[in-house]
Homo-oligomer: A and B are copies of this chain.
């Protein structure tokens, strides 16, 4: 082997970001990407919109294909190739060609593990029934879309009321299905507090989504191995002819663990801010890895595409001899559910309690535009601040407009360690079509500031 070789395991967000960045910085490096599935560099977050037909074809979700990477970036992508083992001593990986079943060993100089995550599947009988899906690789989305087209299901069942459950509820409804959303916990959206989720529950209800909380499916039952109904843990039976299980993600970290690479407490691969694992020349990035949380001050497992991209870029830069560092995340997430925009960043009241952090919290509601401007609608904001310093710890927001990017102001303020006192004086934009003179952000910060025992 003459040229230095980078091997990347997994060719989606983190893997292809890293490969591209490394290529840019080191034109002479040999770069091999092994991808278990049939696509690289696709937008997994677009699957609900593919299924609802808002996005007509799966081609639209593939940012670049393997041919592009070979021809334009000189990156060798091997589709349907699964890396089975990592040999850290002799610096090589064992790769299985899924089509032929053949195995082959490839040596590396640098290795990036970007194996992603897989859906957690609760123990349910009949998970293999036709019409029962998870939603992870692009193939899943394509399969669901095809199944709807071929079988015209009427009753959609969604297991898990997290972000995917919310987006799929809208997606199924737009595809003309009657939707039931089932959550085993007493609350939907575990990453948000009840003052926000109650608005979301109203919106689900307004859109005829049947929400069942504190319930679990124990069996998918059917006819001719096609799903027809789900049996719940209380013995009830629900009609359903298509189901998507979205009960959270688990990191694909086993291959790393087996090779002696350290995992964090979360079960995902432990990395530092340079995206290095504990083994020299082995990096990890994306949904298989942890990220440093700038409010909790420790590694967490919050797999999101935007973090995967940034981690991949940093890993690629360091692999190519650079000195990039990805400082971490603050837990920002946004989603759309029917006519609502929802956003969150930092930590929730639930999390603050669990962490034993002394906090003050407050909820406000304020208009998205000037009160007299047509189309104004209320935005509800919940803020949390450190009780002593007033430093912002978290924000949650819901409304019909103006939420998805307003949450970024709070994400920025949290990163900058601003107090609510500082936030209330921020010079934010004002124009009647877009905001009232006191933006809801400023009102929220001011009202929480008033509740702090020590007003600076």
| Cross-chain contact B372 with A55 (CB below 8 angstroms) | yes
| Cross-chain contact A333 with B429 (CB below 8 angstroms) | yes
| Cross-chain contact A404 with B435 (CB below 8 angstroms) | yes
Partner among B60, B372, B429, B431 whose Cβ is within 8 Å of the Cβ of A411: B429
A274 to B438, CA, bound (A): 20
| Cross-chain contact A437 with B43 (CB below 8 angstroms) | yes
User: Can you list, as one digit per residue, whether each of A398-429 has a CB less than 8 Å from chain B (1) or not (0)?
Assistant: 00001011111101110110100010011111
Most chain B CB inside 10 Å of its own CB: which residue of A336, A343, A345, A372: A372
A332 to B427, CA, bound (A): 6
Tell me the interface secondary structure of chain A in the complex. Answer: loop
Contact-residue bracket for chain A = 35 or more
Q: How far is the CB of A343 from chain B (nearest CB, A)?
A: 6
Evaluate whether A411 and B427 lie within 8 angstroms (CB atoms) in the complex, with A49-B372, A416-B418 already known.
Answer: yes
* A378 at the B interface (CB under 8 A): no
| Cross-chain contact B372 with A430 (CB below 8 angstroms) | no
| Cross-chain contact B404 with A341 (CB below 8 angstroms) | no
Q: How far is the CB of A15 from chain B (nearest CB, A)?
A: 14
| Cross-chain contact B334 with A373 (CB below 8 angstroms) | no
* A61 at the B interface (CB under 8 A): yes
Partner among B54, B326, B404, B434 whose Cβ is within 8 Å of the Cβ of A336: B434
* A46 at the B interface (CB under 8 A): yes
Residue in chain B with minimal CB distance to A55? B372
Residues of B within 8 A of A46 (CB): 370, 372-373, 432
Evaluate whether A45 and B408 lie within 8 angstroms (CB atoms) in the complex, with A336-B433, A416-B416, A425-B326 already known.
Answer: no
* A9 at the B interface (CB under 8 A): no
Q: State the oligomeric state as a number of copies.
A: 2
| Cross-chain contact A43 with B426 (CB below 8 angstroms) | no
**A–B pairs, 30, beta carbons within 8 Å:** A13-B437, A43-B437, A45-B430, A49-B432, A54-B373, A55-B373, A60-B372, A294-B427, A304-B430, A306-B439, A310-B425, A327-B422, A327-B425, A328-B427, A330-B427, A332-B429, A333-B431, A334-B431, A336-B431, A336-B434, A345-B427, A404-B434, A405-B406, A407-B429, A408-B409, A408-B439, A412-B413, A412-B426, A412-B428, A415-B427
Residues of B within 8 A of A328 (CB): 427
Q: How far is the CB of A455 from chain B (nearest CB, A)?
A: 9
Within 8 A of B (CB), among A143-184: none
Within 8 A of B (CB), among A4-63: 13, 43, 45-46, 49, 54-55, 60-61, 63
A446 to B167, CA, bound (A): 30
User: Can you list, as one digit per residue, whether each of A302-326 has a CB less than 8 Å from chain B (1) or not (0)?
Assistant: 0011110110000000000000001
Residues of B within 8 A of A60 (CB): 371-372
Residue in chain B with minimal CB distance to A333? B429
Q: How far is the CB of A35 from chain B (nearest CB, A)?
A: 18
Most chain B CB inside 10 Å of its own CB: which residue of A294, A306, A413, A438: A306
A354 to B61, CA, bound (A): 46
Q: How far is the CB of A84 from chain B (nearest CB, A)?
A: 30
Partner among B13, B418, B429 whose Cβ is within 8 Å of the Cβ of A405: B429
* A452 at the B interface (CB under 8 A): no
Q: How far is the CB of A163 from chain B (nearest CB, A)?
A: 8
* A123 at the B interface (CB under 8 A): no
| Cross-chain contact B441 with A334 (CB below 8 angstroms) | no
Residues of B within 8 A of A373 (CB): 46, 49, 54-55
The 5 closest A-B pairs by CB, nearest first: A416-B416, A334-B429, A404-B434, A60-B372, A306-B430
